[in-house]
Amino acid sequence: MIKILANDGISKAGIEKLEANGFFLSTTNIPQEKLISEINEQEYDVVLVRSATKIRKDIIDQCPSLKMIGRGGVGMDNIDVDYAKENGKSVINTPAASSSSVAELVFAHLFSMVRFLYGANRRMPMEGDTNFKNLKKAYSAGKELQKRTLGIIGFGRIGQEVAKRAIGLGMRVLAHDKFINEANISLNFFNGDKKTFTIETIEMDELLKQSDFVTLHIPKIGDEPLISAEKIGLMKNGSGLINTSRGGLVDETALMFALDKEKLAYAGLDVFENEPNPSIHLLMHNAISMTPHIGAATNEAQDRIGIELADQIISFFKK
């Protein structure tokens, strides 16, 4: 029997599909430092992770029973992918399953930013009964997203899902991608109507200069942040930055400085440089809308991820 360890969990739909096809599945979370011994003791054929567990060379080298490593999500920077493949391990992920969920979180942050929900939600429980009029005045300079320009860096599946929602809100969309020159964005409406827009990508610096808001949807490559102090300097005064992609893409020190100096008006972050211990200075900043890396954490996305992982595992072992 093929044995699977879903160390960071898997949806009920994924569990049911795997068990119905005769696979043994454990969802017990094993601490990172005990993972090698547990995999070897139980002779797991497959280990599935999300973003918490890391599968590095030590596990690949010391766990001969492993035949497959799976990531429930898009980015695989917590897996030594090339090394695993070189050593005969199959590596899978679920690039399409969470696109809609991440795109919707982008707009949760956007709405939070332009209507100051991140601040109001902190202060209302403390001051709402004694300082209501002043709070109302403090948060009365909101902005509408309609007719604003959204710059999307990384125009793959998630970036294109973000574009759909932006277009639906009446926003102007700019996009940058090293590998995509243009994309057809199709909106499917509730009554069966369909409208397609063609968006051509532009250079990143030009996107930064023109956008009211910039959102990131690319993997982390190398040690240097993509959005450095220099890149922030190119952005519009009073603009906003959203990162739901990977921690380290944004220079957090430069971001806080830009917010303090009002170069940027606000930011939305779902990912951080030092997860799971983000900078306390960042967490306490009063101009940042924050969530704890929950981009793919919807019931619908987790069901899609579980089923997609199950389908790939079944296909691999029953071919």
- Please list the active-site residues: 246, 275, 293
* DSSP symbols for 259-306: HHTTSEEEEEES--TTTTS--HHHHT-TTEEE-SS-TT-SHHHHHHHH
Token pair, residue 213, equals 């808001």
Look-up of token digits 């250079």: 203
Listed residue (126, 132, 125, 165) closest to 146, CA to CA:
165
Listed residue (287, 272, 160, 175) closest to 225, CA to CA:
272
Cα–Cα dist 293/271, whole Å: 5
Residues 299/104, Cβ–Cβ less than 8 Å: no
Q: Indicate the residue type of 59.
A: I
Cα–Cα dist 200/176, whole Å: 8
Residues 232/90, Cβ–Cβ less than 8 Å: no
The answer to whether the Cα torsion of 289, 290, 296, 301 is positive or negative is negative
**74: CB partners within 8 A, 6+ apart:** 93, 94, 95, 98, 157, 158, 296
3-state DSSP call for residue 252?
A: helix
- 46-49/239-243 β-pairing: unpaired
